[in-house]
Amino acid sequence: MKVFCIGFNKTGTTSLTDALKRHRYRVCPQNKGEKLCKDWAKNNFTNIIKLCERYEAFQDRPFSMPNTYKHLDKAFPNSKFILTVRSSSDEWYDSFIRFQKKIFGGKISPNLSILKRSGYCYTGWMYDVIKSQYNTSDNDLYNKERLVSIYLKHNQEVMEYFKDRPDDLLVINLKYRKSYLNFCNFLGQRKKLVKFPHVNKSR
């Protein structure tokens, strides 16, 4: 059984990953998945699915990018999907922006020049991801209205897709007291923690 964490980053995905590892799931290394974001942008899921054959649990890009879950669901029947959310879209956006500033060590969001020079999977990777996932203009790469609309649309589409399959989708906000218990029940696991660990804080 595969476990796919399909919430956008900055919804507690790193904390969720830590919990999955403590429950002895073989989690796909994040950088292996992130190298395939170009495939997602081309609507090519062949290599993404091949990567999924090697591990048990997955989080962040490209697994959490819009519509990927549909291809994963078809390729791996009887998998479990976890959608992590924040209490509000404003809370998600603010956390996302804080983290972007933190990555680049500035007090303002990185601009076009900074993103195109930045190196991770390759030079300009962050720029390509922002453009392909949110389709914002170069003059306003972090446009709040656009990012929030994509975040909300993704969450709504996921819930609509699984609306008749409650055993296959768990929607959780990790800061809620019962979220870890719900996580354990959803995966048929015994509790190993008191609550979700808080990892990768943006503040």
CA distance 155 to 151: 6
CA distance 107 to 101: 6
**Those residues with Cβ within 8 angstroms of residue 201's Cβ, 6 or more apart along the chain or in another chain:** none
Count of Cβ atoms closer than 10 Å to residue 27 Cβ: 18
Q: What is the pTM of this model?
A: 0.92
CA distance 112 to 149: 21
Asked if residues 157 and 167 have their Cβ atoms less than 8 Å apart, the reply is no
Give the tens place of pLDDT for each residue, 121-178.
888 899 999 999 999 999 999 999 999 999 999 999 999 999 999 999 999 999 898 9
CA distance 135 to 157: 18
CA distance 52 to 68: 12
Asked if residues 145 and 134 have their Cβ atoms less than 8 Å apart, the reply is no
The pLDDT, as a whole number, for residue 202 is 47
pLDDT > 90 in the chain, percent? 79
